Structure 1
């Protein structure tokens, strides 16, 4: 009798297990999703081909890809969720009686895909893959002392000549975003497709012939251009940096052996958790540009906290996307909400650490990847305008021993 009871118990358990599995399967809902692409405006006779779309579920991290486009539409089955959508392909179009061939891309964040059917549209843009200066590395986290305390002042940015010719760094500006990648608001007017909202700028001095950079060489801009190892054995020697940021109005350290860099707009701040983005730009007549009120951006948004709804506004500088030659979005993965540049400049992001105030982020940088082959013996850095692909996150800083 006992044996029959055991067998009966096993059968009942199996039935409940199967029922549980079926319930789990039924709880996974899918959506028949239709994506419609729109070509960039002002293109003459565009012909788009080889489109591939990637759908990244931000809840699960799972990515679904498809190239089954029919004209400008794609139908794909997706599990319900919130997705970041990325598209890459090729486009032919006419320009001044010439046939142009280039890459085309698209990007859309936080698309809520639910229900039996859903749809969304996405405007494509030309990929601006230039052979110029690129941001090779940003060390924004700072180091720690042997005792585990945070050490400040040894942050730096490395800029690399990724072209085949000598480039002059004179007048090159580093921009810092006004907005945070971990806080998304509906800022109006929305200028992102045309310009970058900027909180700070630093600009390399010179008249255009002072600071040549050979192909495959780099320059370093230090927060403080001193040998930080004297105060912290786990830091770097930045006394041989090409430039240092110096603020006249403060008791900032000034190393006479390192050229001071100009700060024409506000103070240059490294966000040590990586919630702001950076870019390189060539801004004509920078001193005049920052003083001209027409280049200011007044924005408004509504701050919502619980039951409180508060109208907010702010002012900052705006820099046209045409002036920007490279951009890198940075964020905190667990807190990421959006990129704060046009996706035509950068459609991804990189990071140090995983969560807010992550103690593991210190002593790490973000470094651009090196391509496996050289050109005329010169290393080339990867530059697809997608920092998720182009950068090594949580990297060992290049100046570390």
Structure 2
């Protein structure tokens, strides 16, 4: 028989609960399960890439989008789909630089902007903190260099007849249109009339003696748009109207009831300040700066057909002043072709090509009206319409770029 103390010890051992036995592998597995709750989660990020607002469509399909971590230096790339959407599927929380780029060749740019010039567009957001999946796509709008420039849109030069049969030319105007994809500031823009007759006005009329100098255009009077650099913005598809006299020529006592235009809302007028006060100064329309004036009491464009040039130059005083051959006191200013922004030429009739004053490099053709004081105007044709923006034809050939219309249309357009 067992002693009592041994019996008590044996009973106690039977009541103990056995301790579980773990292998090293099992412990590691358990540790792994515990750490899984601390894993860093990733999420998807969408980037919506848009073309500039003045382009024909919004979605920038084919754009290359780069998502760069500013903390780790790593980068991921995605290409935007047909809707301009680029998706990144495994993005870690952090700070990112987001960039997009798209290169368009000339045909692609023409379809989107109306300008056949290759261009590269870019956009960047330098510091975007992403900690959770964005509810909406991150939007980037591309931007690039300006395509296109200012062009001469309309030149009303023929004048009109008064009720008594007299002649009236104070209602002439020139309209300059922004054909570019971005705002252009017209501050400092120069406008001038080309020297020389428009045709065989009388038996003794001879062409301009400067025709052989095809690298420059020779001008008489020069006017300048005022402003210090950013005071005269012209938005894409917008324009500025420059009047000879900024009044409603149809109703003003100084006007002509038969005139076809109201220029009381012109942007500028040319005022030639004189002692005799012969030139009218409209109190409501700002004046251009008179730089050089070699005409009469006002800036009269030849009613038989003018050559008009818009250009930019650091200093008009630095341009060459040239004596006209065969004269003793008639001077003109030589404007090199590379300074010219745009040019327009109208001649007396279809047989007046020998009298061209504007080099072919600037305007290879010309237009002509049916006569003088007939109220007709020369207006640039519309090439295409992109959203609210008109893109005007600009082939440097006035014969195809312009049309003669029966009445002037300041700030108006023809059909595409």
Find the counterpart in structure 1 of residue 376 from structure 2. 364
Contact 1:189/1:299 (CA < 8 Å) preserved in 2?
Answer: no
TM-score (norm 2): 0.56
Give the direction of change, closer, same or farther, for the CA distance of 1:164–1:186 in structure 2 (3 Å limit). closer
Give the direction of change, closer, same or farther, for the CA distance of 1:188–1:285 in structure 2 (3 Å limit). closer
Is residue 319 from structure 1 mapped to residue 319 from structure 2 by the alignment?
A: no
> Partners of 1:400 and 1:172 in 2: how far apart?
19
Find the counterpart in structure 1 of residue 176 from structure 2. 159
> Partners of 2:208 and 2:244 in 1: how far apart?
33
> Partners of 2:303 and 2:211 in 1: how far apart?
29
1:285-304 paired onto structure 2 within 5 Å = 285-286=315-316, 288-289=317-318, 295-300=320-325
Residue of 248, 253, 269 corresponding to 2:280: 253
CA shift for structure 1 position 149 = 3.1
> Partners of 1:185 and 1:242 in 2: how far apart?
34
CA shift for structure 1 position 173 = 1.1
**Quick check: which has more Rg, 1 or 2?**
2
CA shift for structure 1 position 348 = 0.2
> Partners of 2:241 and 2:166 in 1: how far apart?
25
Find the counterpart in structure 2 of residue 380 from structure 1. 391
Find the counterpart in structure 2 of residue 79 from structure 1. none
Find the counterpart in structure 2 of residue 75 from structure 1. none
CA shift for structure 1 position 300 = 2.8
Per the alignment, in what secondary structure is the counterpart of residue 328 of structure 1?
strand
Find the counterpart in structure 2 of residue 284 from structure 1. 314
Give the direction of change, closer, same or farther, for the CA distance of 1:189–1:281 in structure 2 (3 Å limit). closer
TM-score (norm 1): 0.58
> Partners of 2:304 and 2:318 in 1: how far apart?
30
CA shift for structure 1 position 209 = 0.9
CA shift for structure 1 position 399 = 4.4
Structure 2, unaligned stretches of length 5 or more? 1-115, 118-146, 200-204
Structure 1, unaligned stretches of length 5 or more? 1-100, 103-129, 302-310
Higher strand proportion (structure 1 or 2):
1
Find the counterpart in structure 2 of residue 135 from structure 1. 152
Give the direction of change, closer, same or farther, for the CA distance of 1:273–1:185 in structure 2 (3 Å limit). closer
Deviations 1:6-41 (A, max 9, x none): xxxxxxxxxxxxxxxxxxxxxxxxxxxxxxxxxxxx
> Partners of 2:258 and 2:208 in 1: how far apart?
42
Contact 1:339/1:347 (CA < 8 Å) preserved in 2?
Answer: no
Contact 1:171/1:282 (CA < 8 Å) preserved in 2?
Answer: yes
Give the direction of change, closer, same or farther, for the CA distance of 1:167–1:319 in structure 2 (3 Å limit). same
Give the direction of change, closer, same or farther, for the CA distance of 1:237–1:195 in structure 2 (3 Å limit). same
Contact 2:308/2:344 (CA < 8 Å) preserved in 1?
Answer: yes
Find the counterpart in structure 2 of residue 175 from structure 1. 192
Give the direction of change, closer, same or farther, for the CA distance of 1:188–1:204 in structure 2 (3 Å limit). closer
Is residue 187 from structure 1 mapped to residue 209 from structure 2 by the alignment?
A: yes
Per the alignment, in what secondary structure is the counterpart of residue 325 of structure 2?
strand
> Partners of 1:330 and 1:377 in 2: how far apart?
30
Alignment length, in residue pairs? 253
Taking only aligned residues, the RMSD between alpha carbons, in angstroms, comes to 2.8
Contact 2:217/2:337 (CA < 8 Å) preserved in 1?
Answer: yes
Per the alignment, in what secondary structure is the counterpart of residue 333 of structure 1?
coil
CA shift for structure 1 position 145 = 3.0
> Partners of 2:248 and 2:228 in 1: how far apart?
29
Give the direction of change, closer, same or farther, for the CA distance of 1:317–1:132 in structure 2 (3 Å limit). same
> Partners of 2:149 and 2:249 in 1: how far apart?
31
Deviations 1:189-245 (A, max 9, x none): 942x22111111111111111100000011100111112122433322211110011
